[in-house]
Amino acid sequence: MKTSNLVAKWPACAPQLLSVLRIVAAFMFILPDTMKLFAFPIGMPPDGGTAKLMSQIGIGGILEVFGGALLLIGLFTRPVAFILSGEMAVAYFQFHAALYCFVWLYFSAAGAGPWSLDAKRGK
């Protein structure tokens, strides 16, 4: 029985899909934290303000917005993903962040994929 053309070619798409996963996960990771740091698109409940920068939520917001932005563009992916994986391992016990813990841990080993600044830099 012959497999379909798409099924036969699908594994060759893995490097590009790695990049797509990184981009989408990073974008979704950043979004809640722009609320914490910049009150965008809305501020934090109950008053619509921002988090104090030197609080646990503020420091987490800084790591997640700026680390997430680096992951989004695929720059310094492995070390940033490793740091954010550790942060998410801690957050798992407080805020149910298990998925991001393991996604970032995976990227710390796999790298950013071909659609990244790391790939352009040869890292």
The pLDDT-based confidence of 2 (bands split at 50, 70, 90) is: low
> Does residue 54 lie in a domain region?
yes
Count of the separate structural domains present in the chain: 1
Predicted model pTM: 0.84
> How far is Cα 81 from Cα 114, in angstroms, rounded to an integer?
16
> Does residue 121 lie in a domain region?
no
Range of the domain at 63: 11-116
pLDDT digits (tens, 9 = 90+) for 73-114: 999 999 999 999 999 998 887 877 888 999 999 999 999 999
> Does residue 77 lie in a domain region?
yes
> How far is Cα 48 from Cα 114, in angstroms, rounded to an integer?
39
Are the CB atoms for 71 and 29 separated by under 8 Å?
Answer: yes
> Does residue 6 lie in a domain region?
no
> Does residue 109 lie in a domain region?
yes
